[in-house]
Structure 1
Amino acid sequence: MESATRFGHVVMLGPTNAGKSTLLNRVIGQKVSIVSPKPQTTRNSISGILTEEGAQAVFLDTPGLHRQKRGIAPLLLRSAYAALTRADVVLVLLDGAQYARRLEGLKNDLLPIVRVLKDSPVPVVVALNKADVVREKARMLPVLAAVGEALPGAELFPVSALTGLGVKELLAALFARLPEGPHQFDPDEVSTAPVRFLASEIVREKVFLALGEELPYSTAVTVEDWDEESKPGLVKIQASILVGRESHKPMVIGKGGERIKDIGQKARIDIEEMLGTKVFLELWVKVRPNWADDPALLRDLGLGE
């Protein structure tokens, strides 16, 4: 007798900078979500599709949960909470290494997660990330106990999104909790996000990595033009990096245009890998004050109603 196929949505929740995007890219096997050492870089519920024998899961990487109430922070939280309405399984990701070093802060980080999952019938699995850097494994015991108390019934897995430690066991637990049903996507599909959006996210990632501590968080990337027809085997992309203030513009461009050139070169390489073809990428920097208050732009960025 053949075993039933399973299909469902796995919603990833956790504090900012817990490593959700890194884990998603690890699971899918290629980049589908922005990765940066800076917190609050994920703005949308990015999806990745993983198909294995007998099961298919759509992973939704949500913005990190936090308590800020300024700027686009409320939009990010709404995006995370909205994703929960589609959840068949919730995957909570926490920085296990951080709490192993210092348990203080774990309770506060868990509060918004516990609040949003209260009375939810959806099964919960917890991944304690960065377990590979915890040398004294006994230090994880208080962390496991505290998380188990806050989220009773959840199964806990120490993992490393960076090295893959424990990820196989984590995936087995997630797949086992998916409801029975037919697969909804072809096996070779890896994301439900349009390639234009993924390209804009790649550019935004390179902006974040290039700017480091100088980063103006009021930064967005929009694809203005996408041409696959003019020249066979070449995709021409024009994208705009939006900044909130005139003073931010030279920060992105850099001296003699060197920074934006570097951003473009690195982004082009990743986009070519994603598309499997040559890419000509042209970047512009535009000042767009208060872009977070523009409903039309927010819809284009996937943040609006």
Structure 2
Amino acid sequence: MAISFNFFLLLLLLAGSTTAFPNFFLSPSFYSNTCPQLHGIVRSAMKEAIRNDTTIGAGLLRLFFHDCFAGGCDASVLLDDTRASVGEKTAPANKNSLRGFEVIDLIKKRVEAACPQTVSCADILALAARDSVGLLHGPRWNVRLGRSDATAAEQNAASFSLPGPGSSLPILLTMFAAKGLDARDMVALSGAHTLGRSHCSLYRERIHGDSNIDPAFSAALRSTCPLGSGNATVTAPFDRTPGRFDNMYFKDLVAFRGLLKSDQALYGGSLVDPLVEIYSEDNAAFGRDFAAAMVKLGDLSPLFGLPGEIRLNCRKVNA
């Protein structure tokens, strides 16, 4: 007998609660004795970075998500290609979209000067993502630390395990459930799109073909993102306050102004509609759930000790 769509979604709503387990090796106080300056160094660098470019916060948050979702939170996404191996940066979901590598390089340089060979690039990335949100008026949370860095990239995982701009709700729920993240985590983490912008090529199909879209919204976007090849440099913000971490993303979904198909897939006749509506009305609830989901995201398959390492340069493995 065929399983109903709503029952299928209900199963996925419950899936994450039974597959995610706390990681007892990670701790917010991991570097309290070995690098007590760490949090101050990262936050100071992130203040500088955001002051110079308010969009970099979105880049670092995306960088952390793409690292964790493809093989675990091990800084493998930071590795450059070599003659011997292809990294994750050129995977379809990452190519021409990931940014913020130079900020991580700067933070790593300062951390190495203060605490040599002590703090992993994976932990630096986790802290930079948290501070990106906090400095843009979003929530803060205790980042659990103690990860090692990968010595190889996860190119295949980066190519096939990351959600795409055209992902449907069942696909999104399935991909997140496979990582031990439930529907609430998925919807809250999707709210990261309250920051940043997307390229025309990723939303062109939606604004020219979808019916579940506000007509005035789509008309305004079509003027700069026409059918055909269009202008590769054209971008649009995910919501009306792209430089502020708030619940405007969910307000826009309720108004059918989601930029990507995968954004609007969260609202418009599904079991996650109530979550979207709650977040659209209660910014504090969104902030709390986003912070909790980021802690769970940071627990995805971290490395401890060998075969990992503490990279001296986040872009390459140690010699």
Both proteins in one fold, TM over 0.5: no
When the two structures are superposed, what TM-score results if normalisation uses the length of structure 2?
A: 0.27
Identify, as 1 or 2, the structure richer in helix: 2
When the two structures are superposed, what TM-score results if normalisation uses the length of structure 1?
A: 0.28
Identify, as 1 or 2, the structure richer in strand: 1
